Amino acid sequence: MTTPVVVTGIGVTAPNGLGTDAYWAATLRGESGIGPISRFDPAGYPVRLAGEVPDFVAEDHIPNRLLPQTDHMTRLSLLAARMALADAAVDPAELDEFGMGVVTASSSGGFEFGQREMAKLWSKGGQFVSAYQSFAWFYAVNTGQISIMHGLRGPASVLVADQAGGLDAIAQARRYVRRGTDLVVTGGVDGALCPWGWVAQIAGGRLSSQADPRRAYLPFDVDASGFVPGEGGAILVVESAESARSRAAGTVYGEIAGYAATFDPPVHSGRQPGLRRAIELALADADLAAGDVDVVFADGYGVPDLDMAEAGAITAVFGVDGVPVVVPKAMTGRLYSGGAPLDVAAALLAIRDGVIPPAGYVSDVPRHYGMDLVIGKPRHVPVTAALVLARGHGGFNSAMVVRAA
């Protein structure tokens, strides 16, 4: 029927590692990238921890002419895209320009850039606003800049569904490939670590105000007290299995085998939330039974009632302790539209290496969650199929199945 759509390149910019190898090694060691915010002085705020991408010197990775026109998160996305294309051994100049597309997820655009320009406008006047503001802030910026940098002239898009949007973007990439685009650069790299973005995130009401980096973001733990935001994410190269074969791509990490998205019913409707349905639809789309799934990468909000709801959806489909569950984002913080693509990358690496990473500092999971959460140390088991879950503020649910190619 339809040709399988596979991932052949991964580029990672994560708080616990710049580059796929650094990220994966840190993740398997259970090493967290969460720490005190360094990009601005957080002393006056009730939340002072974040996952910041380490060792990133923009001048080392980004052409000079792009520095004045890009937000920090756009620079990270450009690096991630370049790493993903290199990993896939793609030289875009050698391929059909209209046969290569880009679709990224976004949540808040280049918000730090936006704050700087907003400050100029309101403190000095409109004539001080940067000529780059019109596109450096807007949500479409990463897709546009990636397409320009690599000459990708096929279909292009940008999806926003808060923290679920990253899976929607990868699903859109699969759609493009199924419709005939040879290769698509996709995923999400995000972040709004500036005071104005920080205040908006605090207003969301779900951030942890714990001061200890090891205790602040503990999804599914009895001590869960909210989440820690971060920056970064992952960019993937996806293409048809046929295209990967014909250009003798290096590693085929796995197939994007199933996907579904649902939206929650109104809060007081008495109707069931949509996450379970998203899981079931994604499994059906992948033509897999629950028993075929070897590991679930949970969304893991770190907010007790949301953790319980997610545990309920997972056990409803897989049974009590029916499948190993993991939340590597406990070691990065939640990366908004970058979080789910990073989880997809981790799932593909788990398939490659036959190992499931532990959930950071999570140590005590309430028994009534009925979840076999991988904690403490990595678990070495063959992984053929993995399910990745993501939820977005407001009621968005997305689920994606990846499996060995």
Partner 1 sequence: MDRRVVITGIGVVAPGGVGAKPFWALIRAGRTATRGISFFDASSFRSQVAAEADFDPAEHGLTPRERRRMDRATQFAVVTAREALADSGLPAGDLDPYRTGVVVGSAVGCTMSLEREYQVVSDGGRDWLVDHTYAVPHLYDFLVPSSIAAEVAVDAGAEGPAGLVSTGCTSGLDSVGHAVDLVREGAADVMITGATDAPISPITVACFDAIKATTPRNDDAEHASRPFDRSRDGFVLGEGAAMFVVEELGHARRRGAHIYAEIAGYAARATAFHMTGLRPDGRELAEAITAALAGSGTDPSTIDYINAHGSGTRQNDRHETAAFKRSLGDKAYRTPVSSIKSMIGHSLGAIGSLEIAACALAMEHGLVPPTANLHEPDPECDLDYVPLQARAQRVDTVLTVGSGFGGFQSAMVLARPDRAAA
Owner of token pair 């910026």: 141
Q: Based on the shown chain and the rule CB under 8 A, indicate whether residue 233 belongs to the binding site for partner 1.
A: no
State the number of CA atoms in the 13 A half-sphere of 224 facing the CB.
23
Do residues 51 and 332 make contact, with C-beta atoms less than 8 angstroms apart?
Answer: yes
Binding mask 381-400 for partner 1 (x = CB under 8 A): -----------xxxxx----
Near partner 1 by CB under 8 A: residue from 63, 98, 287, 354: 98
- Stretch of 40-48, 208-216, 240-248, 293-301 lying at the interface with partner 1 (CB under 8 A): 40-48
Instruction: For the segment 328-347, give every residue that binds partner 1 (CB under 8 A).
Output: 336
Give the integer Cα–Cα distance in Å for 273 and 395. Answer: 8
Distance in Å, CB of 176 to partner 1, minimum: 9
Name which of 158 and 323 has its Cβ closer to partner 1.
Answer: 158
Distance in Å, CB of 301 to partner 1, minimum: 14
State the number of CA atoms in the 13 A half-sphere of 55 facing the CB.
11
Near partner 1 by CB under 8 A: residue from 204, 250, 291, 382: 204
Do residues 27 and 331 make contact, with C-beta atoms less than 8 angstroms apart?
Answer: yes
- Residue 88 DSSP one-character state: T
Query: Of 109, 232, 106, 111, nearest to 169 (Cα)?
Result: 106
Near partner 1 by CB under 8 A: residue from 22, 35, 39, 45: 45
- Stretch of 4-12, 96-104, 234-242, 327-335 lying at the interface with partner 1 (CB under 8 A): 96-104
Distance in Å, CB of 207 to partner 1, minimum: 10
Name which of 9 and 229 has its Cβ closer to partner 1.
Answer: 229
Name which of 24 and 227 has its Cβ closer to partner 1.
Answer: 227
Do residues 292 and 385 make contact, with C-beta atoms less than 8 angstroms apart?
Answer: yes
Near partner 1 by CB under 8 A: residue from 36, 265, 319, 376: 265
Question: In the numeric block, which tokens belong to residue 332?
Answer: 């990065």
Q: Based on the shown chain and the rule CB under 8 A, indicate whether residue 209 belongs to the binding site for partner 1.
A: no
Name which of 25 and 119 has its Cβ closer to partner 1.
Answer: 119
Name which of 19 and 191 has its Cβ closer to partner 1.
Answer: 191
Q: Based on the shown chain and the rule CB under 8 A, indicate whether residue 211 belongs to the binding site for partner 1.
A: no
Name which of 140 and 308 has its Cβ closer to partner 1.
Answer: 140
Kindly report each contact of residues 379-383 with a partner whose C-beta sits within 8 Å and lies 24 or more positions away, as own/partner.
379/324, 379/355, 380/354, 380/355, 381/294, 381/295, 381/324, 381/354, 381/355, 381/356, 382/294, 382/354, 383/294, 383/295, 383/347, 383/350, 383/351, 383/354, 383/355, 383/356
Q: Based on the shown chain and the rule CB under 8 A, indicate whether residue 117 belongs to the binding site for partner 1.
A: yes
Q: Based on the shown chain and the rule CB under 8 A, indicate whether residue 243 belongs to the binding site for partner 1.
A: no
Near partner 1 by CB under 8 A: residue from 210, 262, 315, 332: 262
- Residue 38 DSSP one-character state: -
Distance in Å, CB of 27 to partner 1, minimum: 26
Do residues 163 and 340 make contact, with C-beta atoms less than 8 angstroms apart?
Answer: yes
Near partner 1 by CB under 8 A: residue from 46, 60, 93, 248: 46
Those residues with Cβ within 8 angstroms of residue 221's Cβ, 6 or more apart along the chain or in another chain: 362, 363, 364, 365
Query: Of 37, 33, 41, nearest to 12 (Cα)?
Result: 33
Near partner 1 by CB under 8 A: residue from 64, 126, 248, 305: 126
Instruction: For the segment 53-72, give every residue that binds partner 1 (CB under 8 A).
Output: 69
Tell me whether residue 310 is exposed, middle or buried, using C-beta atoms within 10 angstroms of its C-beta: 0 to 12, 13 to 18, 19 or more. Answer: buried
Q: Based on the shown chain and the rule CB under 8 A, indicate whether residue 316 belongs to the binding site for partner 1.
A: no
Name which of 54 and 195 has its Cβ closer to partner 1.
Answer: 195
Instruction: For the segment 142-201, give every residue that binds partner 1 (CB under 8 A).
Output: 143-145, 147-148, 150-162, 164-165, 168, 172, 175, 192, 195-201
Phi, psi dihedrals of residue 329, rounded to the nearest 5°: -70, -10
Instruction: For the segment 348-387, give every residue that binds partner 1 (CB under 8 A).
Output: none
